[in-house]
Structure 1
Amino acid sequence: MGTAGSSTRGQSMISSSKHQKQGRCPRPHDWGMGNPQDWLVEILLAFAQQHFRHPENVTRSSVKYTKKPLSEPLLPHSNPALDELALEVFRVVLTFIGDLPCALNSEVDVTHRLLEMCGQGPCPQELQLEVYCQILKQLTFTSSNKSDKYYRVWQFLFTMLAYYLCPVPLQSTMKKYLKSVATHGSASLAGVAKACYQQLERTRKIGGRRRYPSPMEVKALLKGHSQRWIFVNIPGGCRQAVRVNMGTTLGDVIHNLCKRLGVSNQEQMAEYGVTWAEDAESLESPLNPSLYILDLLQEMETPERMSLKLWFYQIHWESPLEFNNKLCVDLQYHQVLKLYETGQLLMRKEHAPISQSELASRMAALKHRATGAFHPPNRYEVQASIPVDLWPAYSEDYWLRKVLAYLAQLLETGMSHLEAKQHFLDIASAFPLFGTTLLEIANSGVRETQERLPTAETNSDEKDDWTQLPGQALVLIYSLVPFPDKFSMSLTCRRWAQGFSSPSTWQDMVIRVKPESSNTWILMFKHYGHFIESARIKFDCTEWHCHGLVSSIVGQLCHSRYSRLQRLTLAGFCVHLEDLQKNLKGLFGAAPIAHAGLTEVDFTNISGQFEDSVFMSLARYNPSLEKLLIANKHPVIRLQPNNLLSILRSCRRLRHLAVWGHSLSDIVGEAFLEKLRAPLQLLQVFYDSPAPDCGIISNNVWKDLRDSLPDLQVHLHFPVDIPIYHILGILQPDMPVVSIEIYSTLDLSRVLKRVSSFYHHCLRRLSVQGPGTAEVLQESVGLQKLCRKLKEVKYNFTGIPK
């Protein structure tokens, strides 16, 4: 918590106030001399008079500290269940700060319970706003002997800010108070307020923490130890101690270490990163700088990652080398040395001003001098200093004689070991391959010839230019061409074959299956299918051969246990669905270990009726599903309401759903309000012929959905001609409708009248196709005037009277 951890708990957290003794509250211009508690009373009182449950009865005592549980929540709530939950939360807050008894060694459970209720309640944002108001209320202590509890409340405020963003209605009030305390409060209190303000801004930008605090973290927090030390390794065997707290991110650690290197430019700091690995030889891709460091440490404590350590290293080498201090030189030297010894930085002969053997001998001598040793190197040390590809070209005696000669010259000049490292880096930075990242690629099984055979029609210089394209450029080229051309490109040269086998080339695939398609797709999927993250399969299966190919492709996707598939789209026409459904069940029921499972499934453009068991298998084995689209303008895929209910209860992260109205009911609508599920954001419903006892959700359920899910948007589609009374029965007053699309051959005047009456405050898009009677035209004009948020209107009226 910034400087808050350095202050002792024995210090007085707040000073006495002359205004407090006189019984009056300081005005804003007196804040420099007043008590911070009085500032909070005034700031919180202004908020309470607008937002509290009974604003007409709000007094100064309503926003002051109390050691007794509340009789009713501070704020009004849309859901009655939140009232009891808010009272329980306040009892947990009192337990955390010590006003209510707490069982022995149960502080961790109390903290986790409070964070869990705030994040997984029926209306998390409303409950979080209630908790923040309760915390600010408890900050208004009036006696100096409660400094210990006062400090705990500040600690708890910081903890909440690290996990949940302060709701918008309270943000301005929170910022105003924190800025005032940070500016005019005592030294210790100013540090706490400043840390809280910084954490509020950090959570607003990158979000809160994702893991609950560990038991050790909670116990240290309650003892006033808000900071801890962690060790970050640097190539070369050096470890750096970094002080972190609950809100520290990897970006903060990188910024701290860059300052120690003498790097202050933001563009240069972007060249550094942190990763986890067992040693410096196995450094992987850098971790996301927005990760919270204590969340990362908890992940590293799992059994499969116990051997990993944090490593700080340079990712890119775009800026010129700067030798600011010894730490900076050591980091760059040991990273470049590894690349050089493995032969990844060797010069080509046509670019070398001196022979490769002379250059390698000089750098071997510099490496030996960089160790600080004055004794001559032995044969084994010389061999370890020469690149592996260059060592067999000459005898051991030759290398030993050359290295010793250069080493004698270095010792005569009095070069220090630090200067030797700098000189080594200067030479290496002139190599053509310096600053590139080379990855090892397994042999594809194609035997290569020892010499490249030039052809009469090919210009060798022009061919070199094409074979040296950067990897990202190759991936972009591969993404712009169809698959047959990709396969032909991979046969051009070794460099392009490596680009074809790159994971980035296969992440997002568009697979077009035609009757004349070959089985090449199946062969490629066996080798590279586990790289695919997004697959869009388009087909026209009017022939049996094409149908079998589609089924085989889906089958190959589910055979890899290390599959990364997250998004699947099927589009096309298929006559025989038996094998395809069987393979889809296998795909949905696979248990990949590389990721959590499918997150998006789109079947909106496929013609063919699927069994409900296919989607039941999808929901059972893919609880991480966030987007399920199984309805479009062609009424094909229909789920029974009870099966859709089972899917919703299995996939609690579902945010976007497109279904036919046949699948909806009041019970399905109430399932969206269940606890411990992500809020639904977009619901697309397609209606055709009316069905008894299904397809219509009552207005009471829509009202609960609108109140509990303020971000919910409903899109209604009527793609076929259905009775007007059925459309009117579907349109409920409290539906959060933002888009309506209607096709009908009947008079739609009553429908448009109801739309303008119910949805004038939320409707954004309207598309109507039907007869243009005088009543319809009149209602359409009135609707456009009444719906202020309407951005897109499409009318296609037939038979308009003159």
Structure 2
Amino acid sequence: MREFALRYFRKSQALLGQTDGGATGKDTDSLVQYTKAPIQESLLSLSDDMNKLAVASFLGEPQAHHSHPSPHLSFLSPQLCQEEKLRDEIYCQVIKQVTGHPRPERCTRGWSFLSLLTGCFSPSTRLMPYLTKFLQDSGPSQELARSSQEHLQRTVKYGGRRWMPPPGEMKAFLKGQVTRQLLIHLPGDVDYRTNIHTFTVAAEVQEELCQHMGITEPQEVQEFALFLIKEKGKLVRPLRPAEYLNSVAVDQDVSLHSRRLSWETPLHFDNSIYISTHYSQVLRDYLQGKLPVSAKADTQLARLAALQHLSKANRNTPSEQDLLAYVPRQLQRQVNTASIKNLMDQELRQLGGHSPQEAQISFIEAVSQLPLFGYTVYIALRVSIQALSGPALLGLSRQHLILMDPSSQNLYCRVALTSLQRLHLLSPLEETGPPGLELNYGSADNPQTLWFELPQAQELLYTTVFLIDSNASCTEWPGIN
């Protein structure tokens, strides 16, 4: 760090220009050693505005003169995220104040602050090798230096917190309160509790959830996503793998849900939690009519109804009224209930030896043969394709977006996600109507436009972008409207 200071600190040039043989080692050491007196100007050469912020931040650092973080830190938060030179300045100030500090307890607070910084954002490429060497050299005698190294590695890997933590979180971190419990909702009303720390990202929690379900292959882990739901469903979106959970799961009206988005990896049924969560997700889609079955397919409907009944460990003979709960709601007024009831009774006799778990596996395998299995399905109330006059099923996979007539099961449109040029959220046509989503796709020679209306237009937009990102291994959201 002394070498860095000699190269880049504004005072170093004055020292090097001293007479009588130049600056002494003591003089140059002082550039990066604790000082009780507040600095009068920034250590690095900065603009006038940033110089004022730098001086203010020095006064506000917890290790300099105060026992608690100063309001200056929260005042600096936006600039710290945006200005690389100011981030380097803060790093240099903290390193200066923990080097040779005479009071161990305050020096520890300074190291805690440095550990916080390394987890929030990385320094410039100019400062990075010097900071890394400083942490490596300090590691054997300072545990917080080792944690700072770990945080810096995570920041390089995941990109760091996009915003500085709020003052309350920073204060808790500096006190050593770095973990908290997080609740994740799984399909089937199953709750999973885990502990996260200040710099936990969505990918780590999703990987932990997958291990809980017996999933270890990285390709299959990537087929799941954490969804953030806010304000009772007004906002629903998947979290990018590198999103810091403490930056998003902060409000009382926010909940996190895990579900499978892609189904390309072959299914395996070697874990009870894996089976139950997959069954619950598939069952919900089936009963909501998102995995279409013909109203005249009595045998198919009867078998799926029997498997649902057995999955509940219910050995009582179901009534015709019970049967309707096992039929997709869109078909309940169209099916021949008596015919399906007779066929269901036959299936129950043949499947009598099935355990609830075996019934769930058989249900998943049977449903996997239906159209749109493996897609995330939405019900579009209206689309711009004239041949689809009523509601249509909109299926989204990692590769395509498709539109299907739920009655005829005819496929009317297939759009490759790689051909999407623009996604545009449309305002409702009527005051109480649903919003819309417009897609511009195709080539410059053959541009195409498609729009549809559905209540989940915003969720569909974010999920589409999420899948595009995952295909391209992007770290930033592409431009969307």
Q: TM-score surpassing 0.5?
A: yes
What secondary structure is seen at the aligned counterpart in 1 of 2:322? Answer: helix
For residues 64-143 of structure 1, the aligned pairs below 5 Å read 64-75=33-44, 77-93=45-61, 96-97=62-63, 99-101=64-66, 107=69, 109-116=71-78, 118-119=80-81, 124-141=83-100
Unaligned stretches of 5+ residues in structure 1: 1-43, 350-354, 451-465, 480-500, 513-520, 532-598, 601-623, 625-802
Mark the CA change 1:469 to 1:310 in structure 2 (over 3 Å): closer, same or farther: same
What secondary structure is seen at the aligned counterpart in 1 of 2:440? Answer: helix
Give the aligned CA root-mean-square deviation in angstroms: 4.3
Per-residue deviation at 1:111?
A: 2.9
What secondary structure is seen at the aligned counterpart in 2 of 1:232? Answer: strand
Aligned mates of 1:442, 1:128 — CA distance in 2? 49
Per-residue deviation at 1:161?
A: 3.2
Which residue does 2:204 correspond to in 1?
252
Which residue does 1:440 correspond to in 2?
379
What secondary structure is seen at the aligned counterpart in 2 of 1:153? Answer: helix
For residues 627-652 of structure 1, give each alpha carbon's deviation from its aligned partner in whole angstroms, at most 9, with x where no partner exists: xxxxxxxxxxxxxxxxxxxxxxxxxx
Aligned mates of 1:131, 1:477 — CA distance in 2? 42
Unaligned stretches of 5+ residues in structure 2: 17-22, 391-408, 423-435, 458-478
More helix per residue: 1
Which residue does 2:348 correspond to in 1?
407
- 2:414 is the alignment partner of 1:471: yes
Per-residue deviation at 1:337?
A: 0.7
Which residue does 1:235 correspond to in 2?
187
Per-residue deviation at 1:132?
A: 0.7
* Aligned 8 A contact 1:165 1:208 in 2: no
Mark the CA change 1:474 to 1:69 in structure 2 (over 3 Å): closer, same or farther: closer
What secondary structure is seen at the aligned counterpart in 2 of 1:440? Answer: strand
Mark the CA change 1:118 to 1:435 in structure 2 (over 3 Å): closer, same or farther: closer
One-letter amino acid of the counterpart of residue 239, structure 1: D
Mark the CA change 1:239 to 1:344 in structure 2 (over 3 Å): closer, same or farther: same
One-letter amino acid of the counterpart of residue 167, structure 1: S
Per-residue deviation at 1:276?
A: 2.4
What secondary structure is seen at the aligned counterpart in 1 of 2:185? Answer: strand
What secondary structure is seen at the aligned counterpart in 2 of 1:255? Answer: helix
Q: 2:366 aligns with which of 411, 427, 447?
A: 427
What secondary structure is seen at the aligned counterpart in 2 of 1:373? Answer: coil
Mark the CA change 1:111 to 1:261 in structure 2 (over 3 Å): closer, same or farther: farther
More off after superposition, 128-137 vs 395-404: 395-404
Mark the CA change 1:276 to 1:115 in structure 2 (over 3 Å): closer, same or farther: closer
Q: 1:149 aligns with which of 98, 106, 111?
A: 106
Q: 2:224 aligns with which of 266, 272, 279?
A: 272
One-letter amino acid of the counterpart of residue 58, structure 2: F
Aligned mates of 1:293, 1:449 — CA distance in 2? 42
For residues 448-463 of structure 1, the aligned pairs below 5 Å read none
Per-residue deviation at 1:181?
A: 5.2
One-letter amino acid of the counterpart of residue 471, structure 1: R
Aligned mates of 1:226, 1:176 — CA distance in 2? 25
* Aligned 8 A contact 2:264 2:374 in 1: yes
Per-residue deviation at 1:377?
A: 3.5
One-letter amino acid of the counterpart of residue 355, structure 2: S
For residues 543-588 of structure 1, give each alpha carbon's deviation from its aligned partner in whole angstroms, at most 9, with x where no partner exists: xxxxxxxxxxxxxxxxxxxxxxxxxxxxxxxxxxxxxxxxxxxxxx
Larger radius of gyration: 1
Mark the CA change 1:334 to 1:281 in structure 2 (over 3 Å): closer, same or farther: farther
One-letter amino acid of the counterpart of residue 188, structure 2: G
* Aligned 8 A contact 2:115 2:145 in 1: no
Paired residues in the alignment total 413
Aligned mates of 1:449, 1:47 — CA distance in 2? 69
Aligned mates of 1:126, 1:502 — CA distance in 2? 41
Which residue does 1:384 correspond to in 2?
325
Per-residue deviation at 1:400?
A: 3.5
Which residue does 2:470 correspond to in 1?
none
Per-residue deviation at 1:61?
A: 4.0
Q: 1:192 aligns with which of 117, 128, 147?
A: 147
Q: 2:129 aligns with which of 140, 149, 172?
A: 172
- 2:158 is the alignment partner of 1:217: no
For residues 748-767 of structure 1, the aligned pairs below 5 Å read none
TM-score w.r.t. the length of structure 1 is 0.45
Per-residue deviation at 1:435?
A: 0.9
Mark the CA change 1:278 to 1:323 in structure 2 (over 3 Å): closer, same or farther: farther
For residues 268-417 of structure 1, the aligned pairs below 5 Å read 268-277=220-229, 284-298=236-250, 300=251, 306=253, 308-346=254-292, 356-392=297-333, 394-411=335-352, 413=353, 415-417=354-356
Aligned mates of 1:48, 1:162 — CA distance in 2? 23
Which residue does 1:47 correspond to in 2?
4
For residues 715-747 of structure 1, give each alpha carbon's deviation from its aligned partner in whole angstroms, at most 9, with x where no partner exists: xxxxxxxxxxxxxxxxxxxxxxxxxxxxxxxxx
Which residue does 1:563 correspond to in 2?
none
Aligned mates of 2:307, 2:231 — CA distance in 1? 24
For residues 374-405 of structure 1, give each alpha carbon's deviation from its aligned partner in whole angstroms, at most 9, with x where no partner exists: 44444443211123355445544443443344
Aligned mates of 1:80, 1:392 — CA distance in 2? 74
Which residue does 1:620 correspond to in 2?
none
* Aligned 8 A contact 2:32 2:96 in 1: yes
- 2:174 is the alignment partner of 1:206: no
* Aligned 8 A contact 1:178 1:196 in 2: no
* Aligned 8 A contact 1:279 1:309 in 2: no
TM-score w.r.t. the length of structure 2 is 0.71
